[in-house]
Amino acid sequence: MSRTEVNAGISGTVWKIEVALGQTVQEDESLMIIESMKMEIPVLSPGRGVVAEILTTEGAVVGEDLVVVVLNS
């Protein structure tokens, strides 16, 4: 089993988490939305996998290199 760490990609506030633990996601599926500079930017899945960990919460401030989701494939 492979483990993929997904970074926020941009600094901002987690506006909405769109997945749940155990959910299967496809490549380019939105995992969460981050608000930055009055824009809503999706964090996309880099590949197919199962959401193993969600390492942030809605309303949290994240940095661009922060790991926010872990996928198992």
CATH number for the domain including 25? 2.40.50.100
pLDDT recorded at residue 1: 81
Within the chain, residue ranges assigned H as helices are none
User: What distance in Å separates the CA atoms of residue 48 and residue 65, rounded to the nearest whole number?
Assistant: 21
For residue 58, what are the domain limits? 3-72
For residues 21 and 67, is the Cβ–Cβ distance under 8 A? no
Rounded mean pLDDT of 5-23?
Answer: 98
For residues 35 and 60, is the Cβ–Cβ distance under 8 A? no
The pTM of the full predicted model, rounded to 2 decimals, is 0.94
Q: Assign residue 52 a region (left: φ > 0; alpha: ψ between -120 and 50; beta: otherwise).
A: alpha
For residues 52 and 27, is the Cβ–Cβ distance under 8 A? no
Domain count, the chain: 1
Rounded mean pLDDT of 13-37?
Answer: 98
